[in-house]
Each structure stands twice: as structure tokens, then as C-alpha cells.
Amino acid sequence: MGVDSQKPSIAAGGASGKLKSFISLTKPRQLSLLLVTMYGAYFAAGGSLDPRSLALLTVMGVSSIGGVTAFNMYFDIDIDSRMSRTRKRPLPSGVLTPFEALVGSIALIVVGLVSAAAINKYVLFTVLAGLYFDIVGYTQLTKRFTPLSIIFGSIAGSMPALGGWAAAAGSITLGGILLALVVFLWQPMHVWFLGYYFKEDYMKAMIPILPSGGDPKIISVLIAMSLVGLVAVSWSFAMYYGYGYLTAILTTVLAALAVSRIGWFAKTGDKKGALRLFKFASPIIAVVFLLLPIERAAVVALLA
């Protein structure tokens, strides 16, 4: 009776229910954060406000990032079904079938590739690189076998910023590489503190993320080092391009606050503290990609 009673509720949603469930496969919060890095890099490089250009960039970003994320979740059904925090997702819960997820994710990826090619070949390269490093490098080759999988995942996560810059600049130049490095160096804080909070889940799913078996002191040192690198990259951008100094200052302040809190976490290994540090990561990346375009616009206006 329990199984039968669930069928009408799934069917009752119809096509709209399926669509809503598929949208959740794209991880809208993560998608939104990566879109912030894409738009931020685009405008930091002097991107146009032309509606057609922005529409094309938006289609490219939403479809490529969302498609790769959904495709990733198609491959991770078995992992998600073992973890308490993910077993209610559409695929392990049976709300969506693997075939539906596969078709939908491939369709999004194709749209992303076509729209990227319509922008320029360098943006297309970033989409292809994101697809390779996320699906092949991260999900297929390393996620289930080594904590070093974060390297591949972080490269994939930095591609939207590189793509946004390339869309405006017309090529991949130093600024885009530096902003991609900002995202790359930010991700250990974003990933490992959440991984520490859910470390029992990762151990249950046999995913060798560093926090699941790592010493809080080692994790803290590595994350602090990545934040120092992030600050250095922010200052390098400002000194090379002549704008972004306020961004670098605020990033330094936030990173210093984070490192002080990380020091407390290293001593206690407190899980709730890890969750708070995970949440503190988002403002750091937001400062860079929201403030930097404003600084550039201000400099351009002053020089006009």
C-alpha cells in the first residue's frame, strides 16, 4: 500500500512536476553562485550591456553549468542513494528516471555548446574543459578513489569565470586566468568544510574526500594556504590592471577573518564551526565578482 500510495503524488505533478525535479538536478544555488563568477568576470573584462550578447551569455551559462551538474548526478545515483543528505534527490528517490535525467542533461549540454560556439571559440573551449574536468576527471577518474579529486572539481568550477572573461575579451588573457584562479583557490574552503560537516555520510558512501578521514589541523592549514593564495591573486589582478584595489582590500579582510575562525576550528574540530565556515565562504567569492566590475566601471568613468 505504501508504494502504491506514492505513485499518484508523483504522477499528479505531471510535466511541471518532472520539470521542477529536473531543475533541482542542476543545483540552482550552486548554479547561481557560478553564474555570479561568470557575469562578474564578463563585466570585469568590459563586457557589453547589449541585450543579445547578455541573452546568449545567459543561455550558455545556465545550460552548460546546469547540464554538466545534472549529468554528474546521473553518474552518482548510487552514491546519492547511500548518503542521508542526498537520498531524497529526484534520481535516488525515483521521482525522475535515469533516462529522463540523461536526456535532459545532454540536451542542456548541447544547448550550452552551441551557444558557446556562437559567442567565440574560447568560450566554447571553457565549456568543453568544464565538461571534461567535471565528468571525466572528477566524477569518473578520481572522485571514488582519491581526495585529489578536488583538483579536477576545482578546475571545472573555475571555467565559468574564465568563460565569462573570454566572452567579453574575445580571448583567454591573463585577467581571465587570474579570476579562474580565484575560484580555484576558493573552492577548498567551500568543499572541505561542508565535507567535514557531512564526513560520516562521505565515509558511508566510500568517497575519499579529505575531511572524512583527515585531521582538522591539516585541513585548516591547507584551506588557510589556499586563502592566502586567493588574496595574492586578487592583489596581482589589481596591480596588473590598475583596478580592483578595493576588491583586494576587502578580500584580504574577509580572508583574515576566515583564517582566524579556521584557527579556532583547528583546535576544536567542531562540526557546527565547520558549517559556519562553509557559509562564510560565499561572501568571499561574492566580494570579488560583484565588486570588481563596479570598480572597473568607476575607473572607466573617471578616465572618460
Lowest mean pLDDT among 108-122, 188-202, 205-219, 240-254: 205-219
Question: Do the beta carbons of residue 35 and residue 65 sit within 8 Å?
Answer: yes
Looking at residue 12, what is its pLDDT? Answer: 40
Which positions ≥6 away from 113 have C-beta within 8 Å? Answer: 64, 124, 127, 128
Higher pLDDT, 230 or 202: 230
pLDDT 10s digits, 52-81: 999 999 999 999 999 999 999 999 999 999
pLDDT value of position 304: 73
Question: Residue 212's pLDDT is what?
Answer: 65
User: Among 116-130, 232-246, 262-276, which stretch is predicted with the lowest mean pLDDT?
Assistant: 262-276
Which domains, and CATH codes, for the chain? Answer: 26-303 (1.10.357.140)
Give the tens place of pLDDT for each residue, 258-289.
999 999 999 998 999 999 999 999 999 999 99
Pairs from 44-50 (Cβ < 8 Å, separation ≥ 24): 44/165, 44/175, 44/179, 44/244, 44/289, 44/292, 44/293, 44/296, 45/164, 45/165, 45/168, 45/169, 45/175, 45/176, 46/168, 46/169, 46/296, 46/300, 47/164, 47/167, 47/168, 48/168
Tell whether the model's pLDDT for residue 100 goes beyond 70. Answer: yes
205 pLDDT band, cuts 50/70/90, is: confident
Give the pTM: 0.91
Please enumerate in sequence order all residues whose Cβ is within 8 A of that of 219, keeping only pairs 6 or more positions apart, or say none.
192, 196, 210, 211, 266
pLDDT at 10 over 50: no
What pLDDT score was predicted for residue 211? 74
Average pLDDT over residues 288-292: 96
C-alpha span between 150 and 47 (Å, rounded): 30
How many helices (H) and strands (E) are present in the chain, helices listed first?
A: 15, 0
Distance CA 26, CA 64 (A): 10
